[in-house]
């Protein structure tokens, strides 16, 4: 069984039993504080970095942050924080 | 709180240049390097801040991500201390200072005396000094039990003494001996006699037999209340049937006369206005070192004034180190104002009179002033109402 399939099973299990997906299936957890701060736990790294657009890997999805003066405020292996004037968050 | 942690562990700001900055971020994050305050300068250049201890790894990871990494700024305590790493003289000074502190902290520099009211500190400290304990004593070498026993044998006014030594501070705790109360031996016979001459105003007999009456003049030593109780036959024959000795008790108030006299010369010696000579010295562990050589001949014919400038702790405690200044001023003869001298003598005599009369009162007083070219003499004659009875045991 591939990793992708196993993750799908965990995700469905969490959904069925009403369990937190970030804990059971390791899904990324995102938090937007107003339009100036974006927190993300369980990221898989930054794919692209710029002052107006940042792409972050979340495993099966990619998070695209759009805005102005975007900056990576802090980052470690699990969590990152981006600040700036956030205009939109897209999931791809 | 985070700023304190960052200050203590130290932070470093790096400038990262390269085509794949996000790759550098990911490598650092995967390696467990936390960073913050990321600031993009250009599309291929940014600055990040991280803990100082991650610096070497961050530089190595930069090479892995094909980025050029350089240190822009170091901050925090480790960076501050690193500035002094080549200052060997300073390091030696700090070590020397630490050594001095370590050595000096073994010696007693401050002595506090607690618990005494009647016995002055100076007496207790002098006695301790005579037994080898004082400022500069080696703390761990003090045998507290032997010391306290020796001092207690010397000072009968003390019932307890102990010394607590904490670092440079010695706390001497004492308890004074309670004075034994004056006990009247009621099993013995006694008379009450006149303590001084006077005219009796009131007699209050509570034991024995009163032998004086109001208005009677008595001399010093005369019996006022007798402890001899004489029983006579009741038929008026005057025959003594028995004699019983008891303790006479009571108070006898009388008008007394007191004369006090005091004099002061109108020429006095006082230190001159101009300084004759000044000398400086050092105080080290209570011992004085002078820098002015042998100038003790100035002590005769001069007023000598010593001002101490001790090193003081923030709590006000004085250490046995410091400077001292000696000033000698030659004596000069000066005339004393006669009126001031008279006022001074009157105050002194009034205080003395109050002390002598104690519980009684000064009913009237007559002052007399005599002035000559050399001196002023003040005399006071006072009429006082006072208790003159004094217990005298019979043999």
Domain boundaries, chain B: 2-82, 110-176, 267-335
How large is the greatest C-alpha to C-alpha distance in chain B, in angstroms? 145
B21 touches chain A (CB under 8 A): yes
Measure the CA–CA gap between B2 and B48, rounded to whole angstroms. Answer: 17
A76: chain B residues, CB-CB within 8 Å:
29, 32-35
A:B CB pairs within 8 Å: 48
Q: How confident is the model at residue A66 (pLDDT cuts 50, 70, 90)?
A: very high
Q: Which residue has the higher pLDDT, B281 or A11?
A: B281
Above 90 in pLDDT, residue B383?
yes
pLDDT of residue B219: 93
B42 touches chain A (CB under 8 A): no
B110-176 belongs to CATH 3.10.20.310:
yes
B72 touches chain A (CB under 8 A): no
The structural domains of chain A, ordered by start, are 28-91 (2.60.40.2000)
pLDDT of residue B334: 85
A71 touches chain B (CB under 8 A): yes
Q: Given the structure tokens 């007023």, which residue do they identify?
A: B303
Q: Which among B30, B35, B43 is the nearest to A50, CB-wise?
A: B43
Pairing of strands A37-41, A29-33: antiparallel
B32 touches chain A (CB under 8 A): yes
B287-299 pLDDT per residue, tens: 788 887 765 556 6
Say if CB B109 and CB B168 are below 8 A apart.
Answer: yes
Q: How confident is the model at residue A1 (pLDDT cuts 50, 70, 90)?
A: low
Measure the CA–CA gap between B191 and B389, rounded to whole angstroms. Answer: 9
Above 80 in pLDDT, residue B183?
no
Above 70 in pLDDT, residue B78?
yes
Above 80 in pLDDT, residue B204?
yes
**Percentage of chain B lying above the pLDDT 70 cut:** 97
B2-82 belongs to CATH 3.40.50.150:
no
The neighbour count for residue B138, using CB atoms within 10 Å, is 9
Lowest mean pLDDT among B64-73, B146-155, B182-191, B373-382: B182-191
Average pLDDT in the A25-35 region?
85
B37: chain A residues, CB-CB within 8 Å:
73-74
A25 touches chain B (CB under 8 A): no
B306-362 pLDDT per residue, tens: 898 988 888 787 888 889 888 888 888 888 888 999 999 999 999 999 999 888 899
Lowest mean pLDDT among A14-28, B26-40, B125-139: A14-28
The alpha carbon of residue A5 is apart from the nearest alpha carbon of chain B, in Å, by: 24
């Amino acid at each position: 069984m591939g990793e992708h399939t196993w993750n799908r099973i965990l995700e469905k299990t969490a959904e069925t039993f009403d369990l937190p997906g970030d804990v059971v299936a390791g899904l990324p957890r995102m938090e937007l504080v107003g339009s100036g701060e974006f927190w993300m736990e369980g990221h898989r790294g930054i794919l692209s970095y710029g002052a107006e657009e940042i792409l972050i890997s979340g495993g099966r999805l990619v998070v695209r942050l759009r805005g102005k003066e975007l900056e990576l405020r802090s980052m470690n292996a699990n969590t990152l924080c981006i600040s700036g004037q956030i205009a939109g968050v897209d999931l791809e | 709180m985070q700023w304190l942690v960052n200050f203590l562990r130290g932070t470093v700001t790096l400038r990262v240049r390269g085509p794949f900055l996000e790759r550098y971020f990911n490598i650092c994050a995967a390696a467990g390097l936390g960073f913050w305050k990321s600031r993009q300068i250009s599309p291929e250049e940014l600055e990040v801040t991280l803990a100082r201890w991650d610096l070497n790894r961050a530089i190595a990871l930069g090479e892995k991500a094909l980025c050029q990494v350089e240190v822009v700024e170091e901050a925090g305590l480790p960076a501050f201390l690193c500035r002094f790493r080549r200052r060997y003289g300073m390091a030696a000074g700090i070590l020397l200072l630490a050594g001095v502190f370590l050595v000096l902290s073994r010696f007693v520099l401050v002595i506090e005396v607690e618990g005494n009211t009647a016995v002055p500190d100076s007496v207790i400290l002098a006695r301790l000094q005579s037994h080898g304990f004082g400022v500069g004593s080696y703390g761990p070498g003090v045998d507290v039990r032997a010391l306290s026993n020796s001092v207690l044998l010397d000072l009968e006014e003390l019932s307890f003494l102990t010394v607590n030594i904490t670092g440079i501070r010695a706390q001497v705790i004492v308890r004074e001996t309670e004075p034994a109360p004056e006990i009247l031996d009621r099993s013995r016979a006694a008379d009450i006699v006149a303590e001084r001459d006077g005219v009796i105003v009131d007699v209050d007999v509570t034991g024995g037999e009163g032998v004086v009456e109001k208005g009677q003049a008595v001399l010093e030593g005369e019996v006022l209340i007798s402890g001899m109780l004489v029983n006579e036959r009741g038929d008026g024959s005057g025959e003594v049937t028995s004699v019983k000795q008891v303790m006479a008790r009571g108070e006898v108030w009388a008008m007394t006369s007191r004369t006090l006299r005091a004099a002061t010369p109108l020429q006095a010696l006082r230190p001159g206005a101009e300084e004759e000579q000044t000398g400086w010295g050092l105080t080290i562990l209570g011992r004085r070192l002078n820098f002015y050589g042998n100038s003790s001949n100035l002590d005769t014919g001069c007023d000598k004034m010593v001002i101490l400038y001790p090193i003081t702790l923030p709590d006000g405690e004085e250490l046995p180190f410091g400077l001292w200044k000696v000033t000698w001023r030659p004596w000069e003869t000066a005339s004393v104002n006669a009126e001031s001298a008279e006022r001074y003598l009157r105050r002194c005599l009034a205080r003395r009179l109050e002390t002598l009369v104690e519980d009684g009162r000064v009913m009237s007083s007559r002052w007399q002033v005599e002035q000559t070219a050399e001196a002023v003499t003040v005399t006071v004659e006072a009429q006082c109402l006072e208790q003159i009875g004094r217990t005298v045991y019979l043999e």
